[in-house]
Each structure stands twice: as structure tokens, then as C-alpha cells.
A = this chain, B = another copy of it.
């Protein structure tokens, strides 16, 4: 049996007349007769009673008509859904995000993606940079978000946005009272740094900036993520350089201050990382959305 048989059968059943059905199918009458005969022979069931006025369904034929219509609808639906999946419009995208970076850019980007591809189920997995890389290679995620990513042979990196750095300062701290903060002044104040874990990371960025300005920071504490860092600032552990987006963390007793004499690379990137060999149309759609986001926000 063949989908053609089903198509022909439904046409004949609906027209109750082989000639008309043949015309509707754009074939001539004899082949249609033969196909129907074949179908009946293969099933071993008489589907039609032949009358001088045309073809009339038997009870078995009526049942088969329902089934045939059902199957044909299902085939249509399957192709349609598969095509949507092939265009990245339907399916699932596993995304790795880092600890506290669910701030500003990532939610906005995910929201934009959801709007463009409402039938793609986005699943977020919180994991560190090293875990993201491992998960990418094991195909547990298709894309990861992180900062300060280093090039890798099998993974591609694409910058999503850059963020200026701000200084998180305890409200009672002398620097909070100054109208202007110069970067070099930070050498006199204990700093909270983050994240711990896989290097290079944001920590190295900050230490590098200090080194460029000719000093070593006074490290009061290293913590895992920005949220903890700002919490320690609130607790008086010192100041902390954070990306712009961290200002969404409004802790009582913490104020954010701009640095006036920013060195040229006084910003940090937010990038996404994915397998070079990943041909998934959903990933392509996601990266396209990310690209648009980047263009809109720069």
C-alpha cells in the first residue's frame, strides 16, 4: 500500500464515481480503476460496490475512508511540523548561562528569541564556564553564555554585547561621597573580586586593568559571582568593579559610581559560545537573533 492509494481511494469515495475522481486527480480513468483494484486486492477487502451509477462504499470502505483521511492529515501535519523544525521554528534549545549573569542582556535576548520563535522551547542550564564547554562538547547544550571566552578549536565564540564597568561602593564609603572617582584611586581601597573558578575570567580583566594603571589591587575577598560580590560590598568588605548590567542588583547600602578616567578597554564582553560543526537551524536562528540584538544595542 501506498499514500497514492489512499489519495486515490479518498477521491473515489468522495466522488462516488471513478471518472470524476480521475479528472479530479488529473489522471485518466483506467489507471485509477486499476489502483483501486490493487488496493482492494492488497487489503483482501471489497471497499466499493460497483453500481451502474457509480461506486458506493461498503461498510468496510466507510471505515477505511475515515482511516485514510486520518492518515493523510497526519502525513500533512508531519511534513509541516518537520519543515518548521527544519527552519528552526519548532523544537528545543538548551542554553548554558553562568551563575548570576541572568541580568539585563540575557533575559532581553531570550525574550526577543521567544517572540520570534514562540514554538522553540528554551531550556536554561546554570553552569560555570568550564561546565558549559564540557556540556557543549557532550551536546547537552547548544549554546552557552559567558564572558572572557578564549578561542577553542571546536567551539566558536560570538560577542553579544559589551558592558562598561562601574564601581559598586558602600554608601558610607569615602569614595561614595566624592563627586568624581579616578581609576587610580582604587589602589588605596580593598576590593572584592569575582568570579572564582576557571581562568581567564573577569578577575583577570580587573587585575589587568589595575596593572595597566600601574598598581596591584588590594584584594579583600574573592567570590563566586557578581551577586555575592555586591552583597559583600553592602557588608562593607570593600568596593567592587562590576559590569553595567549588575546595577539591576539594588542592594540597600550599595551605590554605583562611574569612573572618570577610564582606560580604553574599560569594558567587558558578553559572548556566546557554540559548536562550530553545529548545523542546527534552531541554533542558527538563535545566533541570528543574538546578532540582531548586538546591532540594536550598539
Q: Does A68 contact B (CB under 8 A)?
A: yes
Q: Which residues of B contact A1 (CB under 8 A)?
A: 3, 75, 79
Q: Which residues of B contact A79 (CB under 8 A)?
A: 1, 43
Interface string of A20-54 (1 = CB under 8 A from B): 00000000000000000000000111110100000
Interface string of A70-100 (1 = CB under 8 A from B): 1100110111011101110011100000000
User: Contact between B91 and A59 (Cβ–Cβ < 8 Å)?
Assistant: yes
Q: Which residues of B contact A3 (CB under 8 A)?
A: 1-3
Q: Which residues of B contact A86 (CB under 8 A)?
A: 43-46, 58, 60
| Interface residue from B64, B78, B281 paired with A78 (Cβ < 8 Å) | B64
So how many copies of this chain end up in the complex?
2
| Interface residue from B59, B71, B75 paired with A280 (Cβ < 8 Å) | B59
Q: Does A279 contact B (CB under 8 A)?
A: yes
User: Contact between B63 and A71 (Cβ–Cβ < 8 Å)?
Assistant: no
How far apart are the CA atoms of A58 and B92 in the complex, in Å? 12
| Interface residue from B78, B87, B90 paired with A68 (Cβ < 8 Å) | B78
Q: Which residues of B contact A45 (CB under 8 A)?
A: 82-83, 85-87
A3-B2, A74-B70 given as contacts; is B85 within 8 A of A63 (CB)?
yes
Q: Does A282 contact B (CB under 8 A)?
A: yes
User: Contact between A77 and B82 (Cβ–Cβ < 8 Å)?
Assistant: no
User: Contact between B67 and A71 (Cβ–Cβ < 8 Å)?
Assistant: no
Complex: chain B residue closest to A64, CB-CB: B82
How far apart are the CA atoms of A86 and B60 in the complex, in Å? 5
How far apart are the CA atoms of A282 and B86 in the complex, in Å? 47
Q: Taking the nearest CB of chain B, how far is it from the CB of A164, in angstroms?
A: 37
| Interface residue from B2, B75, B85, B92 paired with A71 (Cβ < 8 Å) | B75
Q: Taking the nearest CB of chain B, how far is it from the CB of A232, in angstroms?
A: 42
Q: Which residues of B contact A92 (CB under 8 A)?
A: 59
User: Contact between A74 and B71 (Cβ–Cβ < 8 Å)?
Assistant: yes
Q: Taking the nearest CB of chain B, how far is it from the CB of A83, in angstroms?
A: 6
Complex: chain B residue closest to A142, CB-CB: B59
Q: Which residues of B contact A282 (CB under 8 A)?
A: 59
How far apart are the CA atoms of A80 and B282 in the complex, in Å? 39
30 interchain pairs, CB-CB under 8 A: A1-B3, A1-B75, A1-B79, A2-B2, A2-B3, A2-B4, A43-B86, A44-B83, A45-B82, A45-B83, A45-B85, A45-B86, A45-B87, A46-B86, A47-B82, A49-B279, A58-B279, A58-B280, A59-B85, A59-B280, A59-B282, A60-B85, A60-B91, A63-B81, A64-B78, A64-B85, A67-B81, A71-B71, A71-B74, A71-B75
Interface set of A (CB-CB < 8 Å, partner B): 1-4, 43-47, 49, 58-60, 63-64, 67-68, 70-71, 74-75, 77-79, 81-83, 85-87, 90-92, 279-282
